[in-house]
Amino acid sequence: MKIGIVGLPFSGKSTLFNALTGSAVSTGAHSIGKAEAQHAVVKVPDQRLERLYQIYKPKKNVPATIEYLDLSGLSADENKKGGFSDQFLGQIRIVDAILLVIRCHQNENVSHPLNSIDPKRDLQLVESEFILSDLSIIENRMERLQRQMRVRKTDADVKEFHLLEKFKAHLEAEKPLRRMPMAPDEELIVRGYQFLTQKPLLVVLNIDEKDIRREADISAEFAEWNAQPATAVLPVSARIEMEIQQLPEDEAQVFREDAGIKEAAMDKLIRASYDLLGLISFFTVGDDETRAWTIRADTPAPAAAGEIHSDIEKGFIRAEVVSYDDFIQRGTMAKCRSDAVLRLEGKEYIVRDGDIINFRFAN
């Protein structure tokens, strides 16, 4: 899973990147549209996997991972008519979700590029830029389709053109595509476009340290955004979280308690990212390794097996499945089998979050 971190200049996105990944990217390094993306892969914390590792004591313990990309800065010009740079579009179109950092904090040493702190204005400004980018792609494609259909009209071209007309009207009403219901066949038609307003959006409100204990009130001010499909809004103090990241865990826990931080930013944002993308985890266990695997919810067992290896999916026979909770209650697979909570499931089985699975397959 790739998550792209974006934001207006001086919003604190590189600070948040450091807080999430333990990196040491200079927080003043990115000039608008000129810097290469910074990459970092972080382990997804999961207490269930740690418990399984303690039970099996294998050679390796392999958590799921998330890749964060700290992308070049966006324009802060409200009157900007152009779109994003090719470099930025190439970077952001490959991500699975967009993490947008919005500045809510005051800093007299670093002025806001629009000379005032207005989070809702900034959020709308960036969303409008995403909408304009998607509109540009749609209009260009519709023009090509029209020329193409004048020579030879196919049912597929007609269907795509009509769908893009719907998209265009939706965007012109200043509504992102993630708010537009789509049938599976429609999603298939436009999958390759990687529209920015169709990607799940995680908005991080970069707040002052003094506002940490007011997180609930701040979130309530963005209830309208939080209620939108594939959108979540979370307040985080990026600077404080970056400082905590540099501390030993015991000191970090004390710091969080003193500051009123109930949960580490990484844990909170990863959980929100999984929820936005509809992701779950299943586990494989044994003497060699315990491992967490990330899949989308409603994934059938053979497709889940394919995450391990394509040959397992092709030769899938059965899946031996027990839920994490059932296993922990009993402590061994033998006890799970005798209590009939270790089940054999076929190709139609939909994998659930926390399943421990052993796949049977033909070579």
Model pLDDT for residues 159-213, shown as the tens digit of each residue = 999 999 999 999 999 999 999 999 999 999 998 899 999 999 999 999 998 999 8
Q: Are residues 313 and 195 in the same domain?
A: no
Neighbours of 117 (CB within 10 A): 16
Residue 35 is predicted with a pLDDT of 57
Q: How far apart are CA 261 and CA 20, in angstroms?
A: 15
For residue 304, the one-letter residue type is A
Q: What is the pTM of this model?
A: 0.88
- Is residue 3 predicted with pLDDT exceeding 90? yes
In terms of pLDDT, which residue wins out, 84 or 272? Answer: 272
**CATH number of the domain that 65 lies in?**
3.40.50.300
Q: If you average pLDDT over every residue of the chain, what do you get?
A: 90
Q: Are residues 248 and 341 in the same domain?
A: no
DSSP-derived pairing of the beta strands 289-296 and 279-284: antiparallel
Residue 33 is predicted with a pLDDT of 45
Neighbours of 195 (CB within 10 A): 21
Q: Are residues 183 and 147 in the same domain?
A: yes
If you search the block for the tokens 């139609």, which residue do you land on?
348
Residue 281 counted as domain residue: no
SS3 category, 79: coil
- Is residue 325 predicted with pLDDT exceeding 90? yes
Q: What is the pLDDT of residues 17-70, one digit of tens each?
A: 998 888 877 665 444 444 577 889 999 999 999 999 999 999 999 999 999 999
Q: Are residues 225 and 166 in the same domain?
A: yes
Q: Are residues 44 and 187 in the same domain?
A: yes
Q: Are residues 262 and 305 in the same domain?
A: no
Q: How far is CA 276 from CA 203, 228, 229, 238, 264, in A?
A: 11, 11, 9, 21, 18
Residue 28 is predicted with a pLDDT of 57
Q: How far is CA 21 from CA 85, 266, 293, 335, in A?
A: 26, 8, 20, 40
Residue 80 counted as domain residue: yes
Q: Are residues 261 and 303 in the same domain?
A: no
Q: Are residues 325 and 242 in the same domain?
A: no
Beta strands in the chain (DSSP E): 2-7, 38-43, 60-62, 65-70, 97-103, 201-206, 231-236, 279-284, 289-296, 316-323, 343-345, 355-361
Residue 292 counted as domain residue: no
Burial of 228 (0-12, 13-18, 19+ CB in 10 A): middle
Residue 258 is predicted with a pLDDT of 87
Residue 27 counted as domain residue: yes
Distance of CA 28 to the CA centre of its chain: 25
For residue 231, the one-letter residue type is T
Q: Are residues 230 and 357 in the same domain?
A: no
Q: Are residues 149 and 201 in the same domain?
A: yes
Domain that holds residue 143: 2-276
Residue 30 is predicted with a pLDDT of 45
Q: How far apart are CA 289 and CA 259, in angstroms?
A: 38
Domain total in the chain = 2
Residues 112-126, mean pLDDT to the nearest whole number: 92
Residue 286 counted as domain residue: no
Contact 94, 37 (CB under 8 A): no
Residue 204 counted as domain residue: yes
Edge-first strand order for the sheet with 65-70 is 38-43, 65-70, 2-7, 97-103, 201-206, 231-236
Residues 110-136, mean pLDDT to the nearest whole number: 92
Residue 288 counted as domain residue: no
**CATH number of the domain that 348 lies in?**
3.10.20.30
Residue 285 counted as domain residue: no
Q: Are residues 154 and 42 in the same domain?
A: yes
Q: Are residues 46 and 145 in the same domain?
A: yes
Report CA dihedral (248, 252, 254, 256) to the nearest 10 degrees: 180
